[in-house]
Chains A and B, each alone.
Chain A
Amino acid sequence: MNKYLKVSLTLATIASGSALLIGLTNLATYGFIQVNREKKISDGISKLYPQVTGYGIHVFLAPDDEKYEPEFDAVRFPHINEVYHVEWKENGENVRHYVYNTSGKNAYGQVDLLIAVGGGKVEQMYVVTNTESYGPTLEDNYINKYNNGYLTDLADVKCGATYGAKTVKEQCDEALAHWTAFYGEEAK
């Protein structure tokens, strides 16, 4: 009995110490990580739409949140984190497009994207985070090819990073479905 108690106590103590250290580090670094993330997103939006003069953010909320809006349905659109409404003027008229901040995971890691949607199609993608072990292949053979117009649709998943490409496609499909459901009419 004593042996089991010693084993349990040792494991519990080490796990608690680890949790405490990780918690303290999280407290110390969280603010910096958020600032970096926001900077990366604003850089991404500037790259996707260099002409943008301003953007507003719509954040996805859980259905039980008091600020919940039906169009931000986290259950129907599990990959979408935020939607940015980006605006600029063209020939004296206001033009509005949408940038979806999405996240997806597979067995090889995580891919976070900014997906620019306008006129019912994915215009460009920007990689915010890519921890996939096939990361560079996914970007070179799929995302960059799409951005540069070498891929006409997102169905081509024979790129040497099949799982990553599927994850990206899922996120794009979801962004398009959301756009069609809520902003398609406005675009017409």
Chain B
Amino acid sequence: MDKIKRGQHKESFLNGILKENPLLVQILGLCPALAVTKSLETAFGMGLLFTFVLVSSNVIVSLLRKLIPEEIKTPCYIVVIATFVTIVKMFAEAFLPELYSSLGVFLSLLVVNCIVLGRSEAFAGQNGVFDSFLDGCGNGIGYTWAISLMGIIREVLGLGTLTIGKVFNFFGDPLTLPILKSTVLDAHGDPLYDFSISIFQNPAGAFIVLGLILAVMAAITNHKKAVEKAKEKAAKEAAKAELAAKAALAGGAK
């Protein structure tokens, strides 16, 4: 029994990270994913705040699931989610003002984010507190890594540099890594080299990056399926050959 429970807990946590990743597999939460992934730090910050809202609302919804009458479930879930979004907004405005200004209206829009509401309805409203907590963590981590990946790609391709410490400004001056664009200027004030492509900073670039990531994910999944199929086929053929050999042996003996 314990083993089954442990397996369930593990599944609740791991599913959201890769197998049922909310962004890359379920294609949910696209609006913030396209809008706030101009830079790694903004995307990561959004992921962190999103995870906090998701975990907290999942836990509270799970705690209240037996007390809330069926007909007012959705309004109650929205009130719970809106409360945590407001709290997160206040904390971000107080302690991460740069992140708060970068996220703009998309932080408030977490109230109607389909992942948060979907997990409350589909999972937390029907499962225990610990499983809901793990589900929130898993989906939060899954969403965070997915938008952070988009953020890295868009920042590097679109700006040519990767900046760390501008939004999470706790350790002095931000560090800018020159990847596709030099931070050293020539005599005319232009960078020594610049291979950045500005479209990746625009919404169109966000669609292109998301499309590419989805294509890579699909290619990996298809490859895995093909390998599994080939293995199954090989196993079946081996079994057939074994049967045939056995039959031939039996025939020879007669």
- Contacts from A to B (Cβ < 8 Å): 3, 6-7, 10-11, 14-15, 17-18, 21-22, 25-26, 29, 32-33, 36, 40, 108-109, 129-133, 135
B177 at the interface (CB under 8 A from A): no
- Contacts from B to A (Cβ < 8 Å): 35, 64, 67-69, 71-72, 75-76, 79-80, 82-83, 86-87, 90-91, 93-95, 97, 101, 104-106, 108
Task: Give complex CA distance A7, B105 in Å.
Answer: 32
Task: Give complex CA distance A33, B90 in Å.
Answer: 8
Asked if residues A18 and B80 are in contact (CB atoms below 8 Å), the reply is yes
Asked if residues A109 and B104 are in contact (CB atoms below 8 Å), the reply is yes
Nearest to B35 among chain A residues (CB) is A133
How far does the Cβ of A153 sit from chain B's closest Cβ, in whole Å?
27
Asked if residues B104 and A133 are in contact (CB atoms below 8 Å), the reply is yes
The CB with the most chain B CB atoms within 10 A, among A11, A14, A32, A131, is that of: A14
Return the contact of A132 from the options B67, B80, B83, B104 (Cβ within 8 A): B104
Asked if residues B95 and A32 are in contact (CB atoms below 8 Å), the reply is yes
Task: Give complex CA distance A130, B107 in Å.
Answer: 13
How far does the Cβ of B96 sit from chain A's closest Cβ, in whole Å?
10
Given contacts A10-B72, A18-B83, 8 further A-B contacts (CB under 8 A): A7-B72, A10-B76, A11-B76, A11-B79, A14-B64, A22-B87, A108-B105, A133-B106
Asked if residues B97 and A29 are in contact (CB atoms below 8 Å), the reply is no
Task: Give complex CA distance A133, B106 in Å.
Answer: 8
A-B CB proximity, top 9 nearest:
A32-B94, A29-B94, A18-B83, A29-B90, A131-B104, A36-B97, A109-B105, A25-B87, A131-B105
28 of the cross-chain contacts (CB-CB < 8 Å) are: A3-B69, A10-B68, A10-B72, A10-B76, A11-B79, A14-B79, A18-B83, A21-B83, A22-B83, A22-B90, A25-B86, A25-B90, A29-B90, A29-B91, A29-B95, A32-B94, A33-B93, A33-B94, A36-B94, A108-B105, A131-B104, A131-B105, A131-B108, A132-B105, A133-B105, A133-B106, A135-B104, A135-B105
How far does the Cβ of B124 sit from chain A's closest Cβ, in whole Å?
15
Return the contact of A18 from the options B71, B79, B101 (Cβ within 8 A): B79
How far does the Cβ of B89 sit from chain A's closest Cβ, in whole Å?
9
Q: With A14-B79, A36-B97 given, is the CB distance from A22 to B72 under 8 Å?
A: no
Which residues of chain B have C-beta atoms less than 8 A from A129's C-beta? 101
Q: With A7-B72, A11-B75 given, is the CB distance from A18 to B82 under 8 Å?
A: yes
Which residues of chain B have C-beta atoms less than 8 A from A29's C-beta? 90-91, 93-95
Return the contact of B97 from the options A7, A40, A108, A131 (Cβ within 8 A): A40
Asked if residues A14 and B104 are in contact (CB atoms below 8 Å), the reply is no
Which residues of chain B have C-beta atoms less than 8 A from A7's C-beta? 69, 71-72
Which residues of chain B have C-beta atoms less than 8 A from A22's C-beta? 83, 86-87, 90
Task: Give complex CA distance A32, B93 in Å.
Answer: 8
How far does the Cβ of A120 sit from chain B's closest Cβ, in whole Å?
31
How far does the Cβ of A4 sit from chain B's closest Cβ, in whole Å?
10
Task: Give complex CA distance A132, B91 in Å.
Answer: 20
Which residues of chain B have C-beta atoms less than 8 A from A25's C-beta? 86-87, 90-91
How far does the Cβ of B164 sit from chain A's closest Cβ, in whole Å?
21
Nearest to A20 among chain B residues (CB) is B83
Task: Give complex CA distance A6, B66 in Å.
Answer: 13
Asked if residues A14 and B76 are in contact (CB atoms below 8 Å), the reply is yes
Which residues of chain B have C-beta atoms less than 8 A from A11's C-beta? 72, 75-76, 79
Which residues of chain B have C-beta atoms less than 8 A from A133's C-beta? 35, 104-106
Task: Give complex CA distance A146, B91 in Å.
Answer: 33
Task: Give complex CA distance A132, B71 in Å.
Answer: 35
Task: Give complex CA distance A163, B101 in Å.
Answer: 19
Q: With A21-B87, A29-B90 given, is the CB distance from A10 to B69 under 8 Å?
A: yes
Task: Give complex CA distance A71, B175 in Å.
Answer: 47
Which residues of chain B have C-beta atoms less than 8 A from A131's C-beta? 104-105, 108
Which residues of chain A have C-beta atoms less than 8 A from B79's C-beta? 11, 14-15, 18
